[in-house]
Amino acid sequence: MTTQSAQLPASLERTLLDVVRALPSGRVLQVLDFARWLQTQLSLEENEGGKAAQAAMEQEEKAWEQTYNANRDDFRAMARQALADLDAGETLEMVIADGKVKVQ
């Protein structure tokens, strides 16, 4: 456990684990991915250059939002296709192991 997770109240940690345990494996991987992203955000905030990095991240986020808004229908079509592929069993599971993405 990291220092931050050790500071969580035990009841909150148990609740989080209960929620994660109830999720399908694909959703658990999404939670893990999101948690890792949150860790990167903390690292940026704690670094001396955190403000500059945060500004760059905000600029990147704004550019992404503009791109998404300009291509919203295309992104939604891709999402619908991805969900259809998942429902049809036409997808492969990706796992991060030893810092590398592997397809199973």
- Distance, in Å, from the CA atom of 53 to the CA atom of 45, rounded to the nearest integer, reads 8
pTM above 0.75, yes or no: no
- Distance, in Å, from the CA atom of 59 to the CA atom of 55, rounded to the nearest integer, reads 6
pLDDT tens, position by position, 75-100? 999 999 999 999 999 988 888 888 78
Cβ atoms of residues 101 and 94 within 8 Å: yes
- Distance, in Å, from the CA atom of 48 to the CA atom of 57, rounded to the nearest integer, reads 15
pLDDT tens, position by position, 22-60? 998 888 999 998 888 888 877 666 665 667 777 888 899
Residue 53, C-beta contacts closer than 8 angstroms, at least 6 positions apart: 44, 47
